[in-house]
């Protein structure tokens, strides 16, 4: 749970500035949901169960994706309210290291998905 909150804090801190500053919490929820889907997709591909999500029927995939996306946004919304993210404070070196770990994690998951598609 602590890792989820810290990851959400990193996303929230990023979306607080720039062109997303009006709705940083919603963007954080969407980013966490997409990160969750990447994680689930990589695990399913590793277990050779990718057809559970990625079958030939695009309409069913869209319904599954939309349903899971809404459920995951609601779950993250209930787990970590926006007030908790606003109240969180971390040292700068932890935030930078966490950001690099997040980028590294994203690259590794994408590489894993790519390799599982090849083999």
In three state form, how does the secondary structure of 30-68 look? HHHHHHHHHHHHHHHHHCCCHHHCCCCCHHHHHHHHHHH
Residue 55: the pLDDT is 63
Residue 49: the pLDDT is 73
**What are the C-alpha distances in Å from 9 to residues 15, 47, 52, 96, 117?**
10, 31, 31, 12, 32
Residue 39: the pLDDT is 85
Residue 75: the pLDDT is 92
Residue 56: the pLDDT is 65
pLDDT in tens, the chain (119 residues): 888 999 999 999 989 887 877 899 999 999 999 999 888 877 877 787 766 666 666 667 778 788 888 999 999 999 999 999 899 999 999 999 999 999 999 998 888 878 777 76
Residue 19: the pLDDT is 80
How far is Cα 49 from Cα 42, in angstroms, rounded to an integer? 10
How far is Cα 76 from Cα 8, in angstroms, rounded to an integer? 9
Give the dihedral sign, CA 75/77/83/84: positive
């Amino acid at each position: 749970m602590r890792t989820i909150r810290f990851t959400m804090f990193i996303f929230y801190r990023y979306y607080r500035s720039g062109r997303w500053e009006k709705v940083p919490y919603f963007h954080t929820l969407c980013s966490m949901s997409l990160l969750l889907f990447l994680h689930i997709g990589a695990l399913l591909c590793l277990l050779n169960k990718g057809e559970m999500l990625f079958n030939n029927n695009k309409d069913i995939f869209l319904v599954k994706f939309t349903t899971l996306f809404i459920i995951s946004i609601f779950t993250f919304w209930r787990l970590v309210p926006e007030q908790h993210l606003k109240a969180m404070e971390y040292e700068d070196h932890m935030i930078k290291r966490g950001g690099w770990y997040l980028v590294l994690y994203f690259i590794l998951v994408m590489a894993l998905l790519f390799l599982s598609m090849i083999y």
